[in-house]
């Protein structure tokens, strides 16, 4: 349910929400056939209202599996705000030079692959590797949406990438399994590599306690300390397939617990500006 509460914490100027989605308007951008779920319409106008409430000035719109590789809704939203919006696309084997160039011209700077079981499971690994090689030459990055169990399962694959790789939602490591769980240890080790990034998003996904998700704070702090210049933040609005529907103001109000002002300046402003090419 949408909230009108403004966060207590005031975000620094230039804050970027690096993980949001748009769905619709469905009369223009219908959901793909065979989509793993049917979301409510949440369009670019709703996104603007959210960020006005939170005090967010930049964002990255991440393509979701409900549209598969039809990136039109995302590109349409990015086109309205080309100086402050970027996109992350889904692609398939049909994409050639012209399609990639159109995505780049439209503000896309990364390709996402999902491994999460309830969204269809692991992708074609050969396609992932081919895509990584292709987009590295364009200065793009790979975004990986993994379940915690995927991290040890695909550790060899993860260690083979040389282009920038962004791990979504803290690797979806369950708080209940503790800071010493194997997937989290591997994630921290991957972050020793200069090409690995992580989003301290998804507190509501990894929490065991529920709102306001304070049990996720230690995980975010460890990740930021491990890679202070390669950590990003996002709301994950409109929160597909969550156990608890968060108030985004609560997610913003967790941020002062993630790090001090200097750390948050990097996470919220400087790091995304560098990765996504914001002025």
Reduce the DSSP state of residue 77 to 3 states and report it.
helix
Angle, CA of 39, 40 and 42, to the nearest 5°: 110
- Cα separation values, 59 from 21, 56, 125, Å: 10, 8, 29
d(Cα 88, Cα 169) in Å, to the nearest integer?
Answer: 15
d(Cα 27, Cα 24) in Å, to the nearest integer?
Answer: 7
Tokens of 238: 């409109």
d(Cα 148, Cα 61) in Å, to the nearest integer?
Answer: 23
Active site positions, annotated: 236
The single residue listed with the structure tokens 């393509």 is 63
Cβ pair 60, 272 in contact under 8 A: yes
């Amino acid at each position: 349910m949408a909230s009108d509460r403004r966060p207590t914490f005031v975000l620094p100027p230039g804050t970027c929400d690096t993980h949001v989605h748009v769905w619709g308007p469905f009369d223009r951008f219908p959901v793909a056939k065979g989509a793993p779920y049917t979301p409510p319409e949440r369009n670019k106008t709703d996104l603007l209202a959210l960020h006005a409430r939170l005090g967010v000035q930049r964002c990255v719109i991440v393509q979701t599996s409900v549209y598969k590789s039809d990136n039109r809704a995302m590109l349409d939203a990015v086109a309205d705000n080309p100086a402050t919006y970027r996109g992350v696309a889904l692609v398939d084997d049909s994409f050639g030079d012209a399609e990639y160039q159109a995505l780049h011209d439209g503000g896309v700077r990364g390709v996402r692959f999902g491994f999460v079981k309830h969204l269809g499971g692991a992708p074609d690994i050969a396609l992932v590797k081919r895509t990584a090689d292709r987009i590295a030459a364009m200065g793009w990055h790979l975004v990986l949406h993994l379940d915690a169990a995927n991290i040890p399962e695909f550790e060899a694959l993860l260690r083979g990438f040389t282009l920038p790789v962004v791990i979504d939602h803290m690797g979806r490591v369950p708080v209940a399994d503790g800071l010493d769980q194997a997937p989290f240890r591997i994630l921290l080790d991957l972050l020793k590599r200069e090409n690995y990034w992580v989003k301290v998003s998804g507190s509501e996904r990894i929490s065991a306690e529920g709102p306001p998700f304070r049990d996720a704070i230690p995980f975010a702090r460890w990740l930021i300390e491990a890679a202070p210049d390669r950590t990003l933040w996002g709301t994950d609005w409109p929160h597909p397939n969550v156990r608890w529907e968060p108030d985004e103001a609560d997610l913003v109000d967790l941020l002062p617990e993630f790090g001090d002002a200097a750390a948050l300046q990097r996470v919220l402003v400087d790091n995304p500006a560098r990765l996504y090419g914001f002025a």
